[in-house]
Amino acid sequence: MRFLKNEIVEHLPFAYPVIGDDAVKHMYHYFSNSGTDYQIDLQDMVDDVPGANDVYKREIGNAKQFVQTLPAGKHGISTDSAVEGYNLKNQNWNWFYAVGGYSAWIKGVAEVTLDKSGQRKYRLDYEYKAADRYNWDVGKKVKIFSVTITDKFMGEFHRQGLAREFNMTGSIKAAIEWDSLNPVHIVVSSPKKR
């Protein structure tokens, strides 16, 4: 297993064009054997994977609907429970291999104001968060070209102390504004692109 680990790590640079940069970085972190938490580029995932973008937009939409039920004032808000998302291979190989399934939620501060005419105005400063565990599930496998790699095989490195599973988290912080006459929100602040 030590020999196989060394072979995999040695050949990871050649995997970038095949499975993607985040998938390779996560694999390096797994084989670093530290087990420390890993910060994923959630904005990149949302931008690159149509399904992840749908989950993000749906959560923003749900948050906006909730904010519109609040009385005037400032209010801390949080999703009742996390929603599940999954990065499909046919949408993006990189994020399929890097994360796969994940849990997502929103928390933030909403401000509801009334102007002189009684029109309601809304502002939501929010943080969209996602989390998952980089681990190997019994019975799962992936096929990269003609090679089948089982989760049992990859998990064996963890079981033998040659690699360590870890928690992945990511965050997008932004602010939006809208009003009762125009439900389409304006992005007030958004994450900076790298």
**Could you tell me which residue, 143 or 54, shows the higher pLDDT?**
54
Q: Residue 97 in contact with residue 23, Cβ under 8 Å? A: yes
Give the per-residue pLDDT at 194.
45
* Confidence band, pLDDT 50/70/90 cuts, at residue 105: very high
Distance CA 67, CA 102 (A): 25
pLDDT value at 30 more than 90: yes
Mean pLDDT, residues 64-84? 95
Worst-scoring range by mean pLDDT, 8-17, 40-49, 134-143?
134-143
Measured from the Cβ of residue 40, the count of other Cβ atoms closer than 10 Å reads 22
Worst-scoring range by mean pLDDT, 67-76, 111-120, 183-192?
183-192
**Could you tell me which residue, 152 or 49, shows the higher pLDDT?**
49
Distance CA 186, CA 173 (A): 15
Say which residues have a Cβ less than 8 Å from residue 190's Cβ, sequence separation at least 6. Answer: 174
Show the tokens assigned to 103: 């849990």
pTM score of the predicted model: 0.88
Report the percentage of the chain scoring pLDDT > 90: 73
Mean pLDDT, residues 76-99? 95
Burial 58-93 (b: 16+ CB within 10 A, else e): ebbeebbebbeeeeeeeeeeebeeebebebeeeebb
Give the per-residue pLDDT at 192.
54
